[in-house]
Chains A and B, each alone.
Chain A
Amino acid sequence: MDELIYTLKQQIIEALNLEDMKPEDIDENASLFGEGLGLDSIDALELIVLMEKNYGIKLQDPSQGKEIFKSVAVMADYIQKNRTK
């Protein structure tokens, strides 16, 4: 799980083009949207692309992201349970 969380952080940094950020800078339990990292709806779409590209998980409805993208830890948990690759 820790490995997945670390990889996921790297993938998020790359997908969202978070310049000057390292995996260590992201708290896996902190909120990704709003108060935490301050991401928005477009970032959520990027995370949907990221999940499909890297883990074969296809979300049909962007509103599902609200729960799944709560934090890196929640996202990693969802990926572990649903990944097809």
Chain B
Amino acid sequence: MEPILITGMGVVSAIGLGKAQTLEALLNNRSGVGPLYYLETEHKEFPVGEVKLTNAEMCSKLGLPENALAVRTSLMGMLALGEALEEAALTPDMLSKVGFISGTTVGGMDKSEQYYLDYLEGDVHKEYIAAHDCGSCSERIADHFGKFAFVTTLSTACSSAANAIILGANMIRCGEADIVVVGGSECITKFHLNGFNSLMILDTKPCRPFDATRNGLNLGEGAAYLVLESAESARKRGVKAQALLSGYGNACDAFHQTASSPDGEGAYLAMKEALELAQMQPSEIDYINAHGTGTPNNDVSESQAMRRLFSEQVPPVSSTKPFTGHTTSASGSIEAVFCILALQNGFLPVNLNWSQAMDDGIIPVSQPTKKTLKHVLCNAFGFGGNDSSLLLSSAKVPELVEGPTHSDGASTDSATCYILSAKQISIQQPLNEDWMDSPVVYDQPYIRSIDPSFKDYVSPIEARRMGKILKRAMATSKEALKAAGLESVEAIITGTGFGCVENTELFLDALTKEGEQLLKPTYFMQSTHNTISSLVAIQTKNHGYNVTYAHKGISFESALQDAWLQFRLGKIGSALVGGHDEMTETFFHILKKGGVLGNDDEICGETAVSVVLSRKLESQVIEPVEMPSQNQSALRQAQGPQALCKLIGFKMLHRPTTNELKETVTNLLQESGKSVSDIDFILTGISGNHKNDKAYLEETKLLFGDKPLLKYKHLFGESFTVSGIGFYVAAQCLAHHRVPEALFVNSSENKAVQPHCILIYNRSDGENVALTLLED
């Protein structure tokens, strides 16, 4: 790939606010880990790396009122983002052309754990309910500076920020954006301090990665963002590169939900892929910033992965977690900033607290060392084996910055891909298309999905720690793969607004009612959003690309976009894309109180949808064995592989103006070679939420005139990922060449029209708009 420029960066962590303090601490071996001070918890025995500011002090620095409605993760994010934008000379008026991609898992959990009992009963603090989810957290960080072109959230536990960087790079390489600000933010909460404690991987002493006596990690917090920019854009704007992103890799360990494999397969594959993308040899790497958490398991596994890739020539390695603690979702971008500071200033950060080599482990950098660095690797691994590695290069490397300045040429590739299969479990009949003829209509405000028997998909022993969302995800994924005739895919990408609500709630409930002792590790390990995607990978033994998006009503489209970008880059040939959200009585009650879902006449449901996408049709081999009779299988073979329909265009916008909407629709149609008259129906997200429904009617009228409108949420119920069901519905309508009567918004429309082209219009409360164009 052509290296991507990094034209700005900002950071906040336990070792300081901003790059200058951070560099000073790294050069002088000054750790920010110490006794717990800011977080209110019983667990004073664990050292942590806290950002040395109260929320009120952060508000003051940001010019916000002291009682601003902001969660700590958002406040830290704002501090880091401000510094990054400033260095890249990006002013608020320029942001409408700039993307923002942030990683977090905790989101607004700091307030949710504080006010959970109020959320259950009473009326106070309910304004924080809408700030709970990861997507809201990112939106608030972005909104502090202006209106970005698009915003989304990665949530792959401790590799979230690294995967945000990878998505941003893919967008630039596809020509979807010239500038994308990427990274992550995460504050320490009681929730995950107790969660890690329940997993018994917290050390009561300062952490000692790669040391024989290591006994766990210290938690940390912070935020960091990088401004990724195409060379052409940077030249036009007259801004300099601080460093370059020359490669990156993402792979799934597919071993265990919380443990790394003994041979470090995921880590090995991620680092190897980063080198391959950069077209570099292992010998060209001058330094590795290891994930190095200090748990017995991680450091063995990561050492093994490095040995496998570099054999006897492992470059200097250090983990900087003894400086900051493990900053979880933010660690990927915080440590990327450390790497860039090392590249710029020619030094190797020290692996503090190390004294004794572990058996068969690597020997990390233990003394301050001056060294000219050209290329470095930065590792970030997450629960579920979501492993990523970034290859960063010095901006002083002449052969790199003087290379060609155009994007990869990937954008010139046809954007079409095929939808081979789509399966859903919802409040309609699960795993079949009966709803098309006999939809069930409900009028209760919240309806639980109708579940199939899960015995065919998960064994009882596997089911022991699967909430309903996971069982549904396994069932729809396996059915979708089967229907597509594929045993495996090259990428598993999931969207989920709230993740595993059932287990999160059980853990939070016990934490707030019974206290900080004897909490169940099972509830905690299933509470991260990436549990779904990584569990599908573990169960299908898939080491391919694996990420999870958690960004409100465009979580599914964010996942879809990721697959679509990688098809265009030629990176993958097939992908399993899912949209999954579950609901409980309690959570519904809380969300309704916070005005998040279930407003006006809206019914609220649960979503489980899995679709298999493929770049090409001819690469598919449909197994005829599933067909009931030989005649039919012969027929199927004669016809060749079938797809439900094609995805021919896709756009995502953040708080668009009318003109931006018009312009985007024009571009979408132009790029897919279509005109408005080719579109047969607009599938809207009309749900019974009066304000949003009115906006749907007004906007579609303005953009598409009197084009017939369809709706589906009245049949399936609202959820953050129900637009994935919209995708499924449109695909089934195109595959069956008909539109069920129950979908028409206006009953006087001609219902006999056979659909050939459907535009899915998802406006997600106007905050984010996603346009998906499907053709038969």
A-B contacts, 16 listed (Cβ < 8 Å): A16-B522, A17-B465, A17-B522, A19-B463, A21-B460, A38-B461, A41-B256, A42-B258, A42-B521, A45-B198, A45-B521, A46-B520, A46-B522, A49-B198, A49-B518, A49-B519
A40 and B519 CA atoms in complex are apart in Å by: 18
- Is A62 an interface residue, CB under 8 A from the partner? yes
| A49 contact from B460, B464, B521, B525, Cβ within 8 A | B521
How many contacts A-B (CB < 8 Å)? 43
- Is A67 an interface residue, CB under 8 A from the partner? no
- Is A83 an interface residue, CB under 8 A from the partner? no
Report A2-18 CB contacts with B as 1/0, cut-off 8 Å.
00000000000001111
Please determine whether A62 and B200 come into contact, CB atoms closer than 8 angstroms.
yes
Task: Tell me whether A18 and B461 are in contact in the complex, defined as CB-CB below 8 angstroms, given that A49-B521, A53-B518 are known contacts.
Answer: yes
Q: Which residue of A lies closest to B464 (CB)?
A: A17
A52 and B520 CA atoms in complex are apart in Å by: 12
A43 and B200 CA atoms in complex are apart in Å by: 12
Please determine whether A40 and B256 come into contact, CB atoms closer than 8 angstroms.
yes
- Is A20 an interface residue, CB under 8 A from the partner? yes
- Is B259 an interface residue, CB under 8 A from the partner? yes
Count, chain B residues at interface, CB 8 A: 18
A19 and B465 CA atoms in complex are apart in Å by: 10
Further contacts, 19 of them, CB under 8 A, given A40-B256, A42-B525, A45-B198: A15-B520, A16-B522, A17-B465, A17-B522, A18-B460, A18-B464, A37-B461, A38-B461, A41-B256, A42-B522, A45-B199, A45-B200, A46-B520, A46-B521, A48-B200, A49-B198, A49-B521, A52-B518, A53-B518
Q: Which residue of B lies closest to A65 (CB)?
A: B200
Residues of chain B lying within 8 A (CB to CB) of residue A52? 518
Q: Which residue of B lies closest to A63 (CB)?
A: B296
Distance in Å: Cβ of B294 to nearest Cβ of chain A? 15
Residues of chain B lying within 8 A (CB to CB) of residue A40? 256
4 tightest A-B contacts by CB?
A45-B521, A17-B464, A62-B200, A53-B518
Report A58-75 CB contacts with B as 1/0, cut-off 8 Å.
000010000000000000
Please determine whether B465 and A42 come into contact, CB atoms closer than 8 angstroms.
yes
Distance in Å: Cβ of A64 to nearest Cβ of chain B? 11
Give residues of chain B (234-276) contacting chain A, Cβ–Cβ below 8 Å.
256-259
Report B438-467 CB contacts with A as 1/0, cut-off 8 Å.
000000000000000000000011011100
Q: Which residue of A lies closest to B466 (CB)?
A: A17
Distance in Å: Cβ of B520 to nearest Cβ of chain A? 6
Distance in Å: Cβ of B205 to nearest Cβ of chain A? 14
Residues of chain B lying within 8 A (CB to CB) of residue A48? 200
Give residues of chain B (472-523) contacting chain A, Cβ–Cβ below 8 Å.
518-522
Residues of chain A lying within 8 A (CB to CB) of residue B258? 41-42
Distance in Å: Cβ of A61 to nearest Cβ of chain B? 8
Residues of chain A lying within 8 A (CB to CB) of residue B463? 19
Residues of chain A lying within 8 A (CB to CB) of residue B461? 18, 37-38
A49 and B463 CA atoms in complex are apart in Å by: 20
Q: Which residue of A lies closest to B525 (CB)?
A: A42
| A16 contact from B198, B464, B519, Cβ within 8 A | B464
A15 and B464 CA atoms in complex are apart in Å by: 10
A65 and B92 CA atoms in complex are apart in Å by: 56
